[in-house]
């Protein structure tokens, strides 16, 4: 049955998803917007408040830490607080339902771990995961933080912001994320600009794209190399690309709207049609 309230391309997307043998779902910041996590490049995006050339690479962050520790504390609070308090929204839950229904590989650029919180699924996290703490060097997993652990760091950062020059205290406050333990350095498992993409997630992501029939791109601005190259790779191999985004339409089929509005009925319609 046609569902015009979801736009003219909705039924076509249902058909493609139903008949696909292998599906890739590629998610970006937009899917977590309804969970309270700001995107990067929208009007109130993170990079609008904290420019990417200063805050999206380790060298820039070190400079800010030395010269403007209070500004760094503000940035960390802006990143950590929403993730500490986030829960999966209807879009994450819909993707989990799709994974239970069909062969699906989920690739995400998000570091918030919300896909996994929506249900037991394997996710290729090509930009890493903020809640995983790894060694420097070596990237060996040291521990997984809970959202409560993150909230404790957030609470301490809030107290720190009442100080004029939080310098040395800042290092102590963020030590669960970045610091030393048992004689080794540790940091969050994050890919910043200039870093290699996370492995084996990136190799797995490329393999998944090469063997899928439909790629569903959700809430990505398609302005970062990783997402652009995966979508280009898909299109050049004849994969059908469906885009769900309120603004970006670079695909074979555009469903214009938010992920939390469109994904639940889309996946329900796939389930109904597949019987």
Does residue 193 belong to the site contacting ligand OAD (CB under 6 A)? yes
User: From residue 145, how far is each of 23, 32, 36, 159, 190 by CA, in Å?
Assistant: 31, 19, 20, 21, 14
Query: Positive or negative CA dihedral for 36, 41, 43, 46?
Result: positive
13 contacts ligand OAD (rule: CB under 6 A) = no
Q: How far is CA 22 from CA 104, 106, 232, in A?
A: 6, 11, 18
Q: Determine the interface stretch with ligand OAD among 2-10, 14-22, 135-143, 254-262 (rule: CB under 6 A).
A: 254-262
For ligand OAD, the closer CB: 93 or 258? 258
List the catalytic residues: 127
Residue 103 CA to residue 272 CA, distance in Å, equals: 17
Q: Binding string to ligand OAD for residues 172 to 191, with x set by CB under 6 A, is what?
A: -------------------x
Tell whether residue 28 is a contact of ligand OAD (CB under 6 A).
Answer: yes
Residues 201-240 that bind ligand OAD (CB under 6 A): 219-221, 223-224, 227
- By the 10 Å C-beta count (0-12 exposed, 13-18 middle, 19+ buried), 20 is classed as buried
Binding to ligand OAD (CB under 6 A): which residues in 94-113?
109
Residue 205 Cβ vs ligand OAD, minimum distance, rounded to whole Å: 13
* Minimum distance, C-beta of residue 163 to ligand OAD, in the bound complex (Å): 28
- Please state the closest distance from residue 153 (CB atom) to ligand OAD, in A: 19
Question: Which residues, at least 6 apart from 138, have a Cβ–Cβ distance to it below 8 Å?
Answer: none
Task: Output the CA torsion sign for 21, 226, 266, 118.
Answer: positive
User: In the complex with ligand OAD, which residue's Cβ is closer, 113 or 219?
Assistant: 219
Among 9, 81, 93, 258, binds ligand OAD (CB under 6 A): 258
Q: Are 78 and 215 within 8 A, CB to CB?
A: no
Nearer to ligand OAD, 81 or 109 (CB): 109
Does 251 help bind ligand OAD (rule: CB under 6 A)?
A: no
Whether the Cβ atoms of residue 117 and residue 88 lie closer than 8 Å to each other: yes
Instruction: Identify the residue among 18, 101, 178, 192 touching ligand OAD (CB under 6 A).
Output: 192
Q: Which is nearer to ligand OAD, 78 or 192 (CB)?
A: 192
Q: How far is the CB of 162 from ligand OAD (least distance, A)?
A: 29
Opening angle at CA 33, ends 30 and 34, nearest 5: 125
Closest approach, Cβ 46 to ligand OAD, in A, equals 8
Q: 152: buried, middle or exposed (CB in 10 Å: 19+, 13-18, 0-12)? A: middle
Question: How many chain residues are in contact with ligand OAD, going by CB under 6 A?
Answer: 30
Tally of residues, the chain: 275
Give contact residues for ligand OAD (rule: CB under 6 A). Answer: 28-30, 33-34, 39-42, 45, 52, 56, 109, 127, 191-193, 219-221, 223-224, 227, 245-248, 258-260
């Amino acid at each position: 049955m046609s569902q015009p309230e979801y736009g003219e391309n909705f039924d076509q997307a249902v058909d493609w998803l139903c008949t696909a043998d292998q599906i890739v779902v590629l998610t970006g910041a937009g899917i977590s917007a309804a969970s309270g996590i700001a995107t990067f490049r929208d009007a109130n995006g993170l990079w609008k408040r904290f420019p990417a050339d200063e805050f999206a690479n380790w060298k820039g962050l070190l400079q800010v830490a030395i010269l403007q520790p209070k500004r760094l504390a503000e940035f960390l609070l802006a990143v950590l607080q929403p993730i500490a308090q986030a829960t999966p929204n209807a879009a994450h839950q819909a993707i989990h339902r799709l994974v239970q229904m069909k062969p699906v590989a989920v690739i995400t650029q998000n570091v918030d771990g919300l896909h996994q919180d929506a249900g037991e699924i394997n996710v290729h996290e090509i930009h890493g995961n903020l809640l995983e703490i790894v060694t420097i060097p070596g990237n060996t997993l040291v521990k997984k933080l809970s959202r409560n652990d993150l909230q404790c760091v957030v609470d301490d950062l809030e107290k720190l912001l009442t100080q004029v020059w939080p310098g040395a205290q800042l290092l102590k406050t963020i030590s669960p994320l970045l610091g030393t333990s048992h004689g080794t350095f540790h940091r969050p498992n994050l890919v910043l600009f200039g870093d290699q993409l996370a492995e084996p997630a990136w190799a797995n992501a490329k393999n998944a794209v090469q063997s899928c029939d439909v790629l569903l791109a959700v809430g990505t601005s398609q302005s970062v190399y990783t997402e652009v190259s995966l979508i280009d790779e898909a299109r050049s191999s004849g994969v059908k690309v469906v885009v769900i985004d309120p603004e970006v339409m670079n695909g074979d089929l555009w469903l214009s709207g938010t992920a939390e509005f469109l994904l639940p009925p889309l996946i329900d319609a796939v389930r109904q049609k597949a019987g």
